[in-house]
Amino acid sequence: NAGVMQNPRHLVRRRGQEARLRCSPMKGHSHVYWYRQLPEEGLKFMVYLQKENIIDESGMPKERFSAEFPKEGPSILRIQQVVRGDSAAYFCASSPAGRRLMNTEAFFGQGTRLTVV
Amino acid sequence: DQQVKQNSPSLSVQEGRISILNCDYTNSMFDYFLWYKKYPAEGPTFLISISSIKDKNEDGRFTVFLNKSAKHLSLHIVPSQPGDSAVYFCAASARSNFGNEKLTFGTGTRLTIIP
């Protein structure tokens, strides 16, 4: 787990502000997944990206949410005009390829806990 | 639409005894199942998995059983140790329309091992 770095660990935003969550995958990993955990719920898939490509964003809300994974730098999950319902823990996972998320092939970061006040 | 269900939000077990965590699923397209362990303020850590073509997989103190006809799987931990106290998530995998794997998680069971 230590290899996937997410920052910040905690983020507080006022309603209407923008939130930017960063995920640096493990060295050698070119595939990134974002998951969201709402209070008292399981993790829910949001988006799957490869370098410079969004492959599957079927779990992303259509409005206000966007993700990118540029050629250089971390993957960014951006939430515009945050609302209280966006308060959640956001987890990033990386894998060396788009193969099955199993065993040690996929690693989760420690998450970013977003609080909207 | 909760496709993966963990109906017990919490479970307490005496140290040294067996812990049994249960999980039910509804989507017959799931073909791979995983258990993750999560400590507070940390990300999920992979624990054990099972392919839908098997009915049992064992790794040390951890065994996962799969009953495809009942769409049910369980995680057995024996003997239970205090360090096993954590939230356990059941997850199921299916290939998306885009060819990637997508994990669907249950809501978790908080396991507490009593010394």
Q: Mind listing the pLDDT tens digit of every residue in chain A (117 residues)?
A: 458 999 999 999 999 999 999 999 988 888 899 999 988 788 899 999 988 899 889 899 999 999 999 988 999 999 999 999 999 999 999 887 655 555 555 689 999 999 999
| Closest by CA position to A78, among listed A105, A108, A114, A52 | A114
Closest chain B CA to residue A4: B43
Residue type (1 letter), A27: K
| Closest by CA position to B110, among listed B26, B19, B46 | B19
- pLDDT for res B66: 97
Whole-angstrom distance, CA of residue B48 vs CA of residue B34:
6
- pLDDT for res A99: 59
- Cα dihedral angle (A54, A58, A59, A60), rounded to 10 degrees? 60
Nearest CA to CA, how far is A14 from chain B (Å)?
A: 22
For B103, which of A4, A41, A101 is closest by C-beta distance? A101
Mutation choice for B interface testing from A49, A102, A110 by most B CBs within 10 A: A102
| Phi-psi category of residue B71: left, alpha or beta, with phi > 0 → left and psi -120 to 50 → alpha | left
Residue type (1 letter), B79: P
What are A47's two structure tokens? 């988006």
- pLDDT for res B12: 98
Q: Which stretch of DSSP H or E encloses residue A55?
A: strand A53-56
Average per-residue pLDDT in chain B? 93
For A108, which of B6, B43, B98 is closest by C-beta distance? B43
- pLDDT for res B21: 98
Distance of CA B51 to the CA centre of its chain: 13
Q: How far is CA A33 from CA A60, A68, B17, B84, in A?
A: 11, 11, 36, 27
Q: Are B93 and A100 an interchain contact pair (Cβ–Cβ within 8 Å)?
A: yes
| Closest by CA position to A32, among listed A11, A65, A12, A56 | A56
- pLDDT for res A65: 97
For chain A, which residues lie within 8 Å of any Cβ of chain B, measuring from their own Cβ?
1, 4, 6, 9, 33, 35, 40-45, 48, 55-56, 58-59, 91, 93, 98-104, 106-111
Intervals of chain B under pLDDT 70: 1
